[in-house]
Amino acid sequence: MAILITGGTKGIGLAIARHFAKPDVDIILNYRHDHAAAEAAVAALRVLGATPHAIAGDVGTPAGAASLLDQVAAITDRLDLLVHGAVRVLVGPILSADPAAFTQAIILNGLSLVYLVQAARPLLRRGSSIVFLSSRGSRQVVPGYAAIGTGKALAEALVRYLVPELAPLGVRINCIAPGTLDTEAVRNLFGAETDAFLAGEAAGNPSGRNIRHDDYTGLVAFLASPAAQMIQGQVIFINGGQYIVA
């Protein structure tokens, strides 16, 4: 089995990698610039028995995505699972945002899905699965989250439009939207208010807590399995019932 995870050296991406880590599994982690985190992730996955690879690169451009998949093709001749979790955090309101930075964030957080799928096409086979990591910010306004939320909303729409092109090839594409987690991205977004934010989210969750990594990793494994062959174009929220009640 061969898996590519963008943004795979930390947080949700790394948790998914850990779930799949076992002998005879190639796990390819794409990251942008934190080499120390990449080295630590590779070491952790190797201990679990997987064959890990870390590839630095910016998938926010067609050339960057193509370069990544060229390097992936040197490792494997097929991808069983592609998870797109790379995100560019840009905090703040839209009206005062730097237009160039905002555009770059929207591209990485949304449009880059197209770059990756196009570049990965030669490695996708009947039974391959693509999973995009979305969030509630794609559908609800979260203060300061516009550059991420609107990018993810774009990607969700692209997933739906990709289904008619991928399904005839036997390739599945879906989104999962994990609820509140204590990740580096969340801490970058909320800063000194993170602990209070996490506590408030847990208190307001009907299930009595925020989600844990093992609440969604099994879902990704299911979406990558033959049992999910007729699940296409869906956005699945994993949040314990949060946001259902206003």
Give the pLDDT confidence of 63-115 residue by residue, as tens digits: 999 999 999 999 999 999 999 999 999 999 999 999 999 999 999 999 999 99
Residue 231 three-state SS: coil
- Picking from 2-16, 60-74, 182-196, which range would have the lowest pLDDT averaged per residue? 182-196
| Cβ–Cβ < 8 Å for 144, 189 | yes
Nearest Cα residue to 155 out of 100, 104, 114: 114
Mean pLDDT of the chain: 96
Locate 242 and state its tokens: 């949060």
Q: What whole-number percentage of the chain has pLDDT above 90?
A: 90
CA R_g for the chain: 17
Residue pair 28/98 in contact by the 8 Å Cβ criterion:
no
CA dist 3 → 66, 83, 98, 129 (Å)? 16, 8, 35, 10
List domains and CATH numbers for the chain: 2-238 (3.40.50.720)
* pLDDT recorded at residue 186: 83
The SS3 of residue 205 is coil
β pairing state of 2-6 and 172-178: unpaired
**Residue 144, Ramachandran bin (φ over 0: left; ψ between -120 and 50: alpha; else beta):** left
Helix (H, G, I), strand (E, B) or coil at 21: coil
Tell me the pTM: 0.95
Q: At what angle do helices 99-106 and 146-166 cross, to 10 degrees?
A: 40
Across 9-150, where does the E strand assignment appear? 26-31, 51-56, 79-84, 124-133
The yes-or-no verdict on residue 190 having pLDDT over 90 is: no
At residue 246, does pLDDT exceed 70? Answer: no
Write down the residue that tokens 């998938």 correspond to: 59
Q: Mean of the pLDDT values across residues 127-141?
A: 95
**DSSP conformational letter for 110:** I
Residues 115/61, Cβ–Cβ less than 8 Å? yes
